[in-house]
Copies of this chain bind each other. A is one copy, B any other.
Amino acid sequence: MLMRLLNRKLLQDVIDNHLHHDIFGGNFGLEKENNRVDLNGKLALTPHPKAFGSKMENPYIKTDFSESQVELITPVFETIEEAYHFMEALHDIVSLELNDEYLWPSSNPPVLPDEDEIPIASIEDSSENQYRRKLAEKYGRKRQLISGIHYNFSFNEDFLHKLYNKLRVDKNYREFKDGVYLKVARNVMKYRWLLIYLTGASPVFDKSYIESCVRLSVHFDEDEESHFFPNMISLRNSVCGYRNEKLLHVSLKSVEDYIRDLQKLVSSNELLSVREYYSPVRIKPASGNNLVEELLHRGIAYLELRMIDLNPLYKIGISKETLHFVHLFLIFMLLIEDQPFGEEEHKIAALNHDSLIMNGIGGRLYGEYSHSESLQKRALDFIDEMKVMLNFLMPNEDSFILLLEKKRNVVQNAQLNYAAIVKSEVQQSTYLSYHLEKARQYREESKANGYQFKGYEDLELSTQLLLKAAVKRGVTFEILDRQDNFILLQKGEHKEYVKQATKTSLDSYSTVLIMENKIVTKKVLHQNGIRTPAGRVYHDVKIALADYPIHRGKPIVIKPKSTNFGLGITIFAGDFSLEDYQKAFEMAFEHDQSVLLEEFVTGKEYRFLVMGDEVVGILHRVPANVVGDGNRTIEQLVFDKNKDPLRRKGYKTPLERIELGDVERMFLKNQSKTIHDVPKAGEIVYLRENSNISTGGDSIDFTDEISESYKQIAIQSAKAAGATFCGVDMMIDHISEEASAKNYCIIEINFNPAIHIHCYPYRGINRKADEKILDLLFHEK
């Protein structure tokens, strides 16, 4: 018999009042724990990395119970995608900061040392330390290392407002809203067994886990390393997992009842603190400073779902699919009938939870209508009712229907369950080696993401890097204008507005204006004894033409006063006609009223990235090229060089692909080559004259190769303009010589230097320019 779960009247109200879109709105936040492990899968005994700043103040990256247990927390987002991407970014950031360590991808702990060797997180707050010590005594440290994902959800406030106004209930809004979340929380408690079935992914555990659990379990490998309980999909949600020792009844009838029951448990010493109530779902206030106070005075702001395992099949421990399913599940929990849920119902829900844990989806369903019904049958009905709901709310949208079909299939076929998949894969090797391999693989994936911030790929690379560096150390951010790459960074009360990563409050407006104006730049540098190309300024083509006899035959550059990506610049390296000279001026005058004619300076050009009193990186750019191996053709060499994940098209990677277009073919032709030629081993074949990264050029880090004397000149140049952040373009005759009065020349100072090229060069190491910006902005280090 198909049970009617849905509250059809409520559903109809939602639809009649045009709230069927709004009900899908919501706010999403994720938290997850991962144990840090060494390269052998043993719990890392190293301290929480300093790069993450203060554990108490970094809102994104903390420690949980153990010093080895990293906790990652996303901000609240309006879409699942954003929360998902942010969690991925956090995962990447933490992974890349760990030296010779991995994030352990299972809810079940890695290879553990003895209880007393497991380090409890060291926190500045002593009462916090004491609490963790007491928990360690009560639950054992090994158990405390069980990790998971918390899914925080609230409905769109606007939706709740509208619903409240439409339903005309006899309550104030606060009471109505609390009622909504309490109803959902009760239903989640009741049907949590289904969520555990569909998200459970911790079937196997290591022999180093709690002895009693290991003793009761079976093992499938010869060395008795990998243990499991038959049918158990989530050790974490079992008695061997991390839950309160007894079944504790805390009413979800009202906020007041909830608080009253919690406080009773604390005063009877059943719980050390209200925080020790490890319910599968928690009702939460907006601010976490004082749970009881906040809940009583401001009501429920969101729900925290706590029964979701880390899923080793996915890098971040959860799939987008699961996130969406949980969301649908929660909407469903709102739209189904609201039945009494007292202590008895509470016990039945716990029975069903344990029935699922011990017997899987084939387990018996307790309570409700039929005592002979199985969890599986109930689950199928449940999902079918969800489909009914969806057909009402979103008749034309089938992606969610397909998702439900998939989950229905998983209910019908227990071997399709995440836990079953994990278990069968683990059986190929061992618990340890399987998860270690996953950890290794995910770390590689994180590495490939190094240069980007997942979810923010539309921003410039420099801004993505800066944001990641901010998150790493717990500096919060707000994106004020995505298109402009305009962000607000904040640490405590300290706010910093930043555009395009290096346009900050640390440079004054006049400094930027000095750099923007080539004439002024040259005057300022010259007044400070720094060498710049000799030359003069023209405001009139006629006067420039009259000077042709003076300049002819000399190597010169003609360029507009203000640069725009090199537009309007002409270089005459050898002799040139009056006609060409005139054309060059006319072109330059199209870009500015003032045009500079300068000596063409010899040497190689190096970009010095100056930040504060330091040269953070030095880069030299080389035109697109391939190096022969005596086997592959130029075409093949280009194809292979383009495989580098840092090299893509469209300026969203630190390097651009080498094209084999007309320009490159012509350039080869001038060298009497074609793309089908096979260069000798070690032979460098250039494909372009210009060295721009945008046309496939290589960026080569020279930071350690160039002597301090040149670095000092770059720093002095920045200081002359008063710049904190700038890119100094210097021509150097021979980097093997020390700088002298004559063997260098400053071409330009740029006020918005790209930082990604110094972090992800073609050859060289990450110069961490992103970190340096934050050090300077927030006076750190």
Binding site for B on A (CB under 8 A): 480-481, 483-484, 486, 496-499, 503-514, 517, 519-520, 523-524, 539, 561, 593-594, 722, 751
Contact = CB atoms under 8 A, between A and B. Distances in A.
A164 to B, nearest CB: 23
Contact of A505 (B484, B506, B510, B751): B510
Contacts of A507: 508-509
A751 B513 CA distance: 13
B520 A480 contact: yes
Given A483-B594, A519-B481, A508 B509 contact: yes
Given A484-B517, A497-B514, A504-B509, 11 more contacts: A480-B519, A481-B517, A496-B510, A497-B513, A497-B520, A505-B508, A507-B508, A507-B509, A508-B509, A509-B751, A512-B512
B509 A503 contact: yes
A514 B524 CA distance: 27
A588 to B, nearest CB: 15
A539 B496 contact: no
Contact of A512 (B509, B519, B520): B509
Nearest to A522: B480
Contacts of A517: 480-481, 484, 486
A-side interface mostly: mixed
A45 B770 CA distance: 65
A508 B480 CA distance: 18
Contacts of A520: 480-481, 484, 486, 497
Given A481-B517, A483-B594, A503 B510 contact: yes
Contacts of A513: 486, 497, 499, 503
Contacts of A594: 481, 483
A514 B499 CA distance: 9
Contacts of A722: 497, 505
Contacts of A519: 480-481
Kindly name the residue among A486, A722, A751 whose own CB sees the greatest number of chain B CB atoms within 10 A.
A486
Nearest to A725: B509
Q: Name the 8 nearest CB pairs between A and B, nearest first.
A: A505-B508, A497-B510, A505-B510, A507-B509, A480-B520, A499-B513, A509-B512, A481-B519
A681 to B, nearest CB: 49
Contacts of A506: 508
A554 B734 CA distance: 68
B504 A508 contact: yes
Nearest to A752: B509
Q: Which of A506, A509, A524 has the largest number of chain B CB atoms within 10 A? A: A509
A498 B510 contact: yes
B511 A505 contact: yes
A484 B592 CA distance: 11
Nearest to A722: B505
A514 B481 CA distance: 10
Contacts of A480: 517, 519-520, 523-524
A507 B514 CA distance: 14
Contacts of A499: 510, 513
Contacts of A514: 497
B509 A511 contact: yes
A584 to B, nearest CB: 20
Contacts of A561: 481
A470 to B, nearest CB: 15
Nearest to A537: B481
A504 B486 CA distance: 22
Contacts of A483: 539, 593-594
